Chain A
Amino acid sequence: MKRKQKKLLIRIGISAALFIAAVIISETLDVKIWLSLAMFFLPYFISGYDVILSALRNIVRGQIFDENFLMCIATVGAFAIGEYPEAVFVMLFYQIGELFQSIAVGKSRRSISALMDIKPDQARVLRNGQEITVSPDEVGIGEAVIVRAGEKIPLDGTVISGTSELNCMALTGESAPKYIEKGMTVTGGCINLSGILKIEVSSKYEDSTVSRILELVENAASVKSKTDKLITRFARYYTPFVVISAFLLVLIPTLITGDFADWLGRALVFLVISCPCALVISVPLSYFGGIGAASKKGILVKGALYLEALAEAETVVFDKTGTLTKGVFEVSEVKCFDNEEKLFAVAAALEANSNHPVAKAVYEYSSSKACVNPKLSEITENAGYGVVGLLEGKKYFAGNIRLLNEFKIKTEEIKSDLAVVYVGSEDGLIGYFVVKDELKDSSREAIKALKSLGISQTVMLSGDREECVSEIAKKLSLDKAVGELMPDSKIAELEKIICGARKGKKVVYVGDGINDAPVISRADVGISMGALGSDAAIEAADVVLMDDNPQKVAEAIGLAKKTKRIVIENIVFALGVKLAFMVLGAMNIAGLWLAVFADVGVSVIAILNAMRTLKQ
């Protein structure tokens, strides 16, 4: 507890004791009215002097409708109509509520920062053969750091020596330890479980994964949800509305019946419940908690706005390669119609010029088999087709069926869900390679989980052949799959889906961010996965998944839905109780005791409910 909170607690304690004493004395002894007033005024003042002071200060500054001011009118009004114990109780309870609120908010602020406890405090750097402990931001690129068992890896880098297992729970939410050996890259923030690791640092602290994640989470608090903005606007009108109603409730009946004290008593109930605090705090607190809970699972949400939008998701669009499939390509079958030597040599020479993952797989396979290295000239790569080059005056190619058609070579098309690379020349086909990219083990489960969350449409967009794409779609039971898309036509396809979405419903796009950053940023909610390495993907996405498990998408949507439900519960509950008390108060059923109890109680319950989002 902070000093300020302790002080308030002591004041509440003293005031409560004096209040109880005053109640007992005035009940048992027949005290004079002025003595009784003094007896009750003392605990009132002790518990509420700061409220009175800030109310006075705010009146001077022209800020009426301030919660302090309203509390003062309500309590002074109660004193005026002779309800002394009520006056003290209202003030006392109001302060208890304030204290509780500040403790609860402080607690959730702390627990969210505890969730993000990935910041390394120190690094043991090797300098001139000596191990020196410094702050991580003092370590330069290329320096070697030592990490002992139980310590946090301070910075991103490559293992120079040592083997170990890492716990990356705080970063990815993955609890299974990760085996690490020489030559592998590691990210800062993971905990070394065994063995001593020597790591060559590959980035400065400010560019490291950890500091990028922390920055992202920190900035997330600034992007407010629509509900939050709506409630803030509502609060601006709510308080004046309640106060004016209270005023009218005194004025009109008094003019008719003349019973001023009775109606004033009823109106005071209005003032006590006029503070919209419960709502104003609980909405952002819920979203903040939701974002915190998500980051614990390795799902970084860039702001409440996106968590809110995720809850409205109707369609989830996936990229294929690297998102639903492993993105690791391997040649699984080779067919040769000609000289095998020639096939491998031409394939290796051509595919060496392409960065496409399929081409790379073919290159790697054939270059290990090829004995000669023919020099081709005028090599050009056509994105979406393949590579073409000139050898001894003849055009050679390596590419997909589209390229084959361009050369007007007829062949029996291979029906499979795998990518096929045809290699040939103007004279005809030399052979082909079948390249497989396995589905991730978790993809099926991910699609199933999305369905059970009420996502009505799952779509896959890919640059691959139509047959290949529809085969995968069948395996995963996707609703729709579109293949043979060029990078720019992916955006057009996504736009078509967005246009077709029902009003208020959102379209989510999930990609690995390697070449689809523009598509990610076009979607209502763009998710990039396993994107720790790619700045462009982190920049473009609204949600960043720390690992590449598509099930995290379903987890994120589930979390968003639960957060939204909690927010709605709070709004309905808080407004419902307040409305009920206005009615009961006006009918003189609920007195001040109950009203303040309800007001503070609503705040407390709403905050406790909001904090549930943290524990998802």
Chain B
Amino acid sequence: MKYVFRMEDLECAHCAAKMEREISKLDGVISVNVSFLAQKMTLECDEENKPDIFSKAKAICKRIEPDCVLVER
């Protein structure tokens, strides 16, 4: 299942690439795509670890760009 997040206040292209790289290394993540221009993240992951992966992904984004807020839709 693919989940789409809106990334509010994602301002730095470089950071988007960094987020994508780090999130892709998380256990259980099948694929992840951070689009700087669309301000959107598409995340595909294991169903059972979903909450854990989501919170880790959010933490990574927060660490790399503190102003950026992830909103699931």
Contact = CB atoms under 8 A, between A and B. Distances in A.
B24 interface: no
A235 interface: yes
Contacts of B11: 102, 105
Contacts of B40: 218, 221-222
Nearest to B38: A221
B28 to A, nearest CB: 20
A280 B66 contact: no
Given A57-B66, A276-B14, A288 B37 contact: yes
A284 B37 contact: yes
A218 B38 contact: yes
B66 A284 contact: no
A284 B42 contact: no
A69 B12 CA distance: 15
Nearest to B9: A4
A54 interface: yes
Contacts of A109: 37-39
A222 B35 contact: yes
Question: Is chain A's binding surface mostly helix, strand, loop or mixed?
Answer: helix
Contacts of B9: 4
Nearest to A284: B37
Give the interface residue-count category, chain A. Answer: 20 to 34
A463 B67 CA distance: 59
A362 interface: no
Interface residues of B, number: 18
A197 interface: no
A290 to B, nearest CB: 12
A190 B63 CA distance: 45
Contacts of A57: 66
A222 B63 contact: no
Given A54-B66, A57-B66, A61-B63, A281 B13 contact: yes
A285 B37 CA distance: 7
B19 to A, nearest CB: 12
B61 to A, nearest CB: 13
A242 interface: no
Given A57-B66, A61-B63, A221 B37 contact: yes
Nearest to A108: B37
A235 B38 contact: no
A171 interface: no
Contact of A280 (B17, B64, B67): B17
A388 B11 CA distance: 67
A401 interface: no
13 contacts: A54-B66, A61-B63, A218-B40, A221-B35, A222-B35, A222-B42, A224-B33, A235-B17, A275-B14, A277-B13, A277-B14, A281-B13, A284-B37
Interface of A: 4, 54, 57, 61, 63, 67, 102, 105, 108-109, 112, 218, 221-222, 224, 232, 235, 275-277, 280-281, 284-285, 288
Closest 8 A/B residue pairs (Cβ)? A221-B38, A281-B13, A221-B35, A232-B17, A280-B13, A222-B33, A288-B37, A280-B14
